[in-house]
Structure 1
């Protein structure tokens, strides 16, 4: 399955979407500096499952196949719920909630990249078509499942800031 978004999940994008249009950024605190790369890899793998669903799933059905959901997500779902609730409230997402949020007729963002900021801080970049406010709670939930301790954003940032950053989790071995 191929799409420009899948390509950006697996590999660092070659260029910003449009130098005049900002990207949306989330600043993510992970447990330690040596977990930043693993967080980037896990988040890319989880987002890829959602993007795959957006390409092939029938969103008119009652359930979407969970076959692409990485097995490690089940192990971290409960601890993610605790961290998410501490920052956003008690709403807990199910796997089906996450997958249905990738309905192409409703999703308001597309994956761009995950980059290193400093130490245990990661920046997750998405293309929100320059919108400062948009529906992205499924992405925030996915960040917590992938290992985020705290998430701040979204904040609009100049795409030049992304260009100067180093991508995380793009080795592609487990993602291809």
Structure 2
């Protein structure tokens, strides 16, 4: 499989950070790894080696027998030596042994391994996509294999083992939804409802991308639910559909989408935003248990099927409140919500109330302190 320069540049970006959900291919391959070291340390080793290799793919002359290795982590250079360097750390030595036992083809030599990243070579049948952690301590390496279930990947297995892998199984091919679900589960183990939440949101055609950072100075969800109730001086954007409209669902979905796309709730080419979610099946009322979840629209999205919501743009500058009334179904949008005195006053009262839980109080105070009316 040929790897064009632009493909390698994008792959290197994915090594540096998790790719956006909307860029994912229809199917991905994965390997399950049981590491002998902490998951974060294992991930860091994988990414550091791949960054060096892809950097060479973009800059080195692969007609040369010896590629420069200054950027390659020393531990990887040591374990990929022939003979094995005495300086190779124990985790890498153990991985080398496990690879030899699993593959029965001997170890890799450093220059041979690096030459697998030659952009003009067709031998490397995969491109790095992502890595996710599981609650049981295992990790999952995701690769884009262009839909192929059988491909050359021993160089990736080598890295997976010598970085500290005790066992490596795969590859397995699956629809991209499997990756989305893996990303949705909080890697720190706090969001035990991640998979359930992903399933619940999928019923509305929303792809769950994980919970927002709770320390970010965003408008708290409990306050966002009042966006349609505070005095705005006529500076709100709103769409309304009669609740007895025979095409209510289609009309609300269309009007909401146009409102959100035109006024900045999300970008048309990357329709991601934050949705208030709680401990129950849906966020139906202001509550101390509410959190912002990052979601993405899909072709099956049906916002009208679950009205009574609060949404926020990723940068926190646009909030949308949706509510189904007896006569009208409304979606109200506020830009720069921190500039509305009535909303700030309500937030100040809520933060001062002894009935407000500590976590919510801190979130309200953080938002008030990091924003102003100006």
Q: In 1, Cα distance between the equivalents of 2:27 and 2:182?
A: 15
Aligned to 2:111: 96
- Relative distance call for 1:143 and 1:14 in structure 2 (3 A) is same
The Cα shift of 1:118 comes to 2.9
Q: What is the match of residue 87 of structure 1? A: 102
Report the Cα offset of residue 163 of structure 1: 1.4
| Residue in structure 2 matched with residue 12 of structure 1 by the alignment | 18
Q: Alignment partner of 2:165: what SS? A: coil
Aligned equivalent of 1:163: 180
> Per the alignment, in what secondary structure is the counterpart of residue 93 of structure 2?
helix
Cα distance, 1:90 vs. partner? 4.2
Question: Which whole-Å CA distance do the structure 1 matches of 2:171 and 2:106 have between them?
Answer: 19
2: distance between equivalents of 1:150 and 1:132? 20
Q: How do residues 14-93 of structure 1 correspond to structure 2 at under 5 angstroms?
A: 14-15=20-21, 17-18=23-24, 21-31=26-36, 35-73=38-76, 74=78, 75-76=88-89, 77-93=92-108
Match of residue 139 from structure 1: 156
Question: How far 1:17 sits from its partner (Å)?
Answer: 4.2
Structure 1 distance, partners of 2:24, 2:49, is 26
Task: Tell me, yes or no, if the aligned pair for 1:16 and 1:159 is still in contact at 8 Å.
Answer: no
Aligned to 2:170: 153
Moved over 4 A (4+): 16-19
SS in 1 for 2:21: coil
Residue 56 and residue 89 in structure 1: after superposition, are their counterparts in 2 closer, same or farther (change >3 A)? same
| Unaligned segments of structure 1, at least 5 residues | 169-176
Cα deviation code 1:118-148 (max 9, x no counterpart) = 3221100010101101111001001111111
TM-score between both structures, scaled by the size of structure 1: 0.85
Q: Using the alignment, how far apart are the partners of 2:20 and 2:32 within structure 1?
A: 22
Higher RCO, 1 vs 2 (CA within 8 Å, ≥6 residues apart): 1
Q: Normalised by the size of structure 2, how large is the TM-score? A: 0.42
**1:84-137 Cα distance to aligned partner (Å, 9 max, x none):** 012111411011111011112222211101101232211000101011011110
The structure that has the greater radius of gyration is 2
Pairwise CA RMSD: 1.9
CA distance in 1, matches of 2:24, 2:12: 19
Structure 1 counterpart of 2:136? 119
Indicate conservation of the 8 Å contact 1:16/1:163, yes or no: no
